[in-house]
Amino acid sequence: MTWNLYLGADLSPLFSATILEEVPRRVTEVYRQFLATNIGERVKKIAQQIALLKPDFIGLQEAALWQLRQLMVPDVPHVTFDYVDLLLRELQKKGLSYEVAACNKNFSAQLRSSQGNFVRLSDRDLILIRKDSQLKVVKRQEANFKTNLITKLGGQRVELLRGWSSIDVSHADHLFRVITTHLEPASTLINLHQGYELLDGPAKTNLPIILLGDVNINKEMALPPTTYGNFLHEGFQDVWNEVGQGPGLTCCQDSDLLNAFSTLNRRIDCILYKNGWKPISAKIIGAEQTDRTSNALWTSDHAGVIANLEA
């Protein structure tokens, strides 16, 4: 399974601030939207989907950590919203035991709000593994890309760090690799270079590979030099192309997650495979009206993808 959990807010107001004095107001705006998209409720529906399907592995993107520090009340603990902790707790309530097998820490920033608090957002991608699956992790790798988007926030230079995680897994007499990543959406060139880093890094192996990710590429970009085309050229196959039904749209709902009807209009979340796998089935999850929370929020701005592959 792969699923982008959504940071919970549109960050573009931050990056449209041209001077530092504008930033605190924008921070408050973004943080309020994060609170409104209610990760506590969303994660219950996400856990419900996972409990129904019980995947062996889950690649998660935008598995955010939000922290609020109140400067005026120094003895009060941080207010923390840890997506990973919240999800694992909900899964435990449903009798499922997952653990983090690998996690790459991406961009992290702490900024002051207009209310005088410090708000920190940390982005992470990770792989969860089901503890009772009889699978053993024998190697893990976690890294950031060398090529990342450089932008400005309040006139100051900011690098939007991204990366990847991988695990080598043994089961019976089989050894294989699982990779997760979230490639840059705002620059095709940087996306391309990050794809090269994957192909020259964790994907450069003779082991059977499963790549789970929000790759911000689609099947319309199938010829090199595009990231998607490069992966196909290097022998990867797209599970959805092989066994998926329909267009398999995964992106994107409105940033407030309250759009009445689904606005998913492209497929950028993929499960790719190479070196010996046989795809059996694939399904889109989190895209139906019945998947919404009780207060009408979509579970994420992305739908998830789950697939069944045999060695």
What string of pLDDT tens digits covers the 311 residues of the chain? Answer: 999 999 999 999 999 998 999 999 999 999 999 999 999 999 999 999 999 999 999 999 999 999 998 876 666 668 899 999 999 999 999 999 999 999 999 999 999 999 989 999 999 999 999 998 889 999 999 999 999 999 999 888 999 999 999 999 999 889 999 999 999 999 999 999 999 999 999 999 999 999 999 998 765 555 668 899 899 999 999 999 999 999 999 999 999 999 999 999 999 999 999 999 999 999 999 999 999 999 999 999 999 999 999 98
- Closest by CA to 165, choosing from 211, 131, 132, is 211
Distance separating alpha carbons of residues 292 and 290, to the nearest angstrom? 5
Query: How far is Cα of residue 225 from the mean position of the Cα atoms in its chain?
Result: 24
Distance separating alpha carbons of residues 40 and 90, to the nearest angstrom? 10
- What are the extents of the domains in the chain? 2-310
Which tokens sit at 272?
A: 């790719």
pTM: 0.95
**2-310 CATH pick, 3.60.10.10, 3.40.1280.10, 3.90.1150.10, 3.30.160.60:** 3.60.10.10
String of DSSP letters for 170-227: EETTEEEEEEEEE--SS-HHHHHHHHHHHHHTTT-SSS-EEEEEE-S--GGG-SSSSH
Distance separating alpha carbons of residues 26 and 39, to the nearest angstrom? 20
Q: Which helix (H) or strand (E) holds 44?
A: helix 39-53
pLDDT value at residue 221? 58
Residues 6+ apart with CB under 8 A from 261: none
- Closest by CA to 14, choosing from 105, 90, 113, 94, is 113
Distance separating alpha carbons of residues 22 and 25, to the nearest angstrom? 6
- Residue 101: Cβ-neighbour burial (10 angstroms; 0-12, 13-18, 19+): buried
Residues 6+ apart with CB under 8 A from 290: none
Residues 6+ apart with CB under 8 A from 211: 179, 180, 181, 198, 203, 231, 236, 270, 271, 272, 273, 274
Number of H helices, E strands in the chain: 7, 16
